[in-house]
């Protein structure tokens, strides 16, 4: 084996290989001997020219050639403009990837700037500078990884925290496009954002924004001809439905509108204030199956109650139209979002030709086997004859009927229900809590026929 090695790889060949290797390493490492303090001004001028932001208060510039030639600034600060208040972050180990050939000529040619593990402080003024930068400033190639963006109100309170996994902001000269790609998280929801604009058209751009849970896709075309307001059209996909959203955005507010359309299952009219963050939204849901609607609402209500982002504040009014059910046809649900919680503040459902039903109080509890939603219901009877006819209550068991009070419970993971504490026309002194519910007799059902039989039996027992 040794003879083969000696014949195939003689000493001159090995010498040439090692010579080339050490020459290459020497070529890469010679810049470590440079005095970068003398190149600092040229470096900062190049950054400002190619990236349209400023790096200040630099400490200790060094050169590394692994994984590729770059300069590292041990400490520095990033400013969006000359104004001292435009500073958005303190940087540790900022990496500036350069052309090694140009560096040998004492010239600076930046290929990419890389930022990792940094916190970016943004308020409304800085946000406007960022938007202006995206729309009109030069950018070479900027990456940000494993960092966080903090949006602060005018009072200095942090209202939004958005972790950023990957942020790429660059100009593609081949396609003549400016691009911004972000993989991040907001309000505990992962999202993917893609934005691009042709350099020859300054006022128009488009983006896509995809949330992973719930699965929602937004695609947008934006017109910036109006300097004070941004007007756009947003195409969104949710639950296999596609909608066109018209919006208007200025420094303080965002207005969203989805016009009523026979082909849409909902419409939307909302206004969002940015400082502080607060929203008011009115939506119409149409032609929803009641079982699916109950399942979605209860699951969302339970999974998010007391767990929302503390700065997600606002009101959501949901108007239900043309419910696909033989007994319920419409209704209204009002939700209030405040202090990490969501509450159902008012509600009612219309019972076809009979009256209304509303939840006076409600809560979730665990019965040791599953999670139960308990609701203290008040049913207003406006047409007692229709009620008795629909529920097949015998005439001998009928009474003059104005109100029905009962407690309805549902397993949020199954289509199983129970009724308890059934009373007519007057409320009781029953304490509606988990302890109280543990001491009452419950009658269970999983379809309407069983439910109707329970109602018939209740009227029979009362008489």
Bridge partners (DSSP) listed for residue 358: 378
| DSSP one-letter string for 101-156 | HHHHTT---EEEEEEES-EEEE-HHHHHHHHHHHHHS---EEEEEEEEEEEE-TTS
Instruction: Report CA dihedral (53, 57, 61, 64) to the nearest 10 degrees.
Output: -50
* Domain boundaries, given as residue ranges, for the chain: 1-32, 34-202, 353-463
pTM value is: 0.57
Q: In degrees rounded to 5, what are phi and psi of residue 306? A: 75, 10
pLDDT of residue 167: 97
| DSSP one-letter string for 187-214 | TTEEEEEEEEEETT-SSEEEEEEEETTT
What's the burial of 217, exposed, middle or buried (CB within 10 Å: 0-12/13-18/19+)?
middle
Average pLDDT across each block of 10 residues of the chain; the chain has 463 residues. List them in order.
50 52 43 60 90 91 81 93 90 90 78 95 91 88 95 87 95 89 91 88 79 76 65 71 78 82 79 90 89 84 83 92 91 92 92 95 92 95 96 94 96 93 90 92 94 94 80
pLDDT of residue 132: 87
Length of the chain: 463
Q: How far apart are CA 267 and CA 284, in angstroms?
A: 5
pLDDT of residue 363: 93
On the CB side of 112, CA atoms within 13 Å amount to 13
Q: How far apart are CA 343 and CA 297, in angstroms?
A: 12
268, 258 in Cβ contact below 8 A? yes
């Amino acid at each position: 084996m040794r003879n083969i090695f000696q014949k195939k790889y003689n000493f001159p060949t090995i010498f040439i290989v090692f010579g080339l290797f050490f020459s290459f390493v020497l070529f890469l490492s010679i810049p470590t001997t440079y005095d970068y303090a003398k190149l600092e001004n040229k470096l900062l001028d190049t950054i400002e020219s190619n990236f349209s932001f400023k790096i200040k208060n630099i400490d200790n510039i060094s050169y590394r050639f692994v994984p590729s030639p770059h300069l590292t600034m041990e400490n520095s600060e990033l400013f969006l403009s000359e104004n001292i208040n435009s500073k958005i972050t303190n940087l540790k180990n900022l990496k500036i990837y350069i052309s090694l050939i140009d560096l040998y000529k004492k010239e600076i040619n930046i290929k990419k700037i890389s930022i990792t593990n940094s916190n970016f402080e943004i308020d409304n003024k800085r946000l406007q500078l960022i938007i202006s930068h995206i729309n009109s400033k030069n950018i070479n190639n900027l990456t940000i990884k494993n960092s966080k963006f903090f949006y602060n109100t005018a009072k200095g309170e942090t209202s939004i925290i958005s972790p950023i996994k990957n942020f790429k902001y660059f100009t593609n000269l081949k396609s003549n496009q400016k691009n911004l790609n972000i993989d991040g998280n907001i309000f505990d929801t992962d999202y993917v954002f893609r934005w691009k604009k042709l350099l020859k058209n300054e006022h128009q751009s488009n983006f896509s924004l995809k949330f992973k849970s719930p699965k929602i896709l937004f695609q947008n075309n934006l017109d910036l001809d109006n300097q004070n307001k941004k007007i756009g059209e947003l195409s969104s996909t949710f639950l296999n439905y596609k909608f066109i959203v018209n919006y208007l955005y200025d420094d303080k507010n965002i207005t969203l509108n989805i016009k009523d359309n026979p082909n849409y299952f909902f419409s939307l009219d909302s206004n969002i204030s940015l400082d502080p963050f607060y929203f008011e939204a009115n939506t119409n849901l149409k032609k929803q199956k009641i079982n699916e609607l109950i399942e979605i609402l209860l699951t969302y209500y339970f999974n998010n109650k007391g767990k929302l982002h503390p700065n997600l504040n606002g009101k959501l009014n949901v108007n239900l139209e043309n419910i696909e059910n033989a007994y319920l046809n419409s209704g209204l649900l009002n939700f209030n979002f405040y202090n990490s919680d969501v509450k159902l503040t008012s509600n009612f459902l219309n019972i076809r030709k009979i009256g209304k039903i509303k939840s006076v109080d409600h809560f979730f509890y665990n019965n040791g086997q599953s999670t139960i939603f308990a609701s203290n219901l008040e049913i207003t009877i406006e047409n007692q004859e229709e009620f008795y006819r629909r529920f097949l209550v015998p005439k001998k068991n009928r009474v003059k009927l104005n109100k029905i009070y009962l407690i309805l419970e549902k397993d949020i993971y199954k289509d199983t229900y129970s009724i308890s504490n059934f009373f007519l026309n007057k409320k009781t002194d029953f304490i509606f809590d988990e302890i109280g519910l543990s001491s009452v007799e419950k009658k269970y059902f999983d379809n309407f026929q069983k439910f109707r039989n329970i109602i018939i039996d209740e009227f029979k027992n009362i008489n």
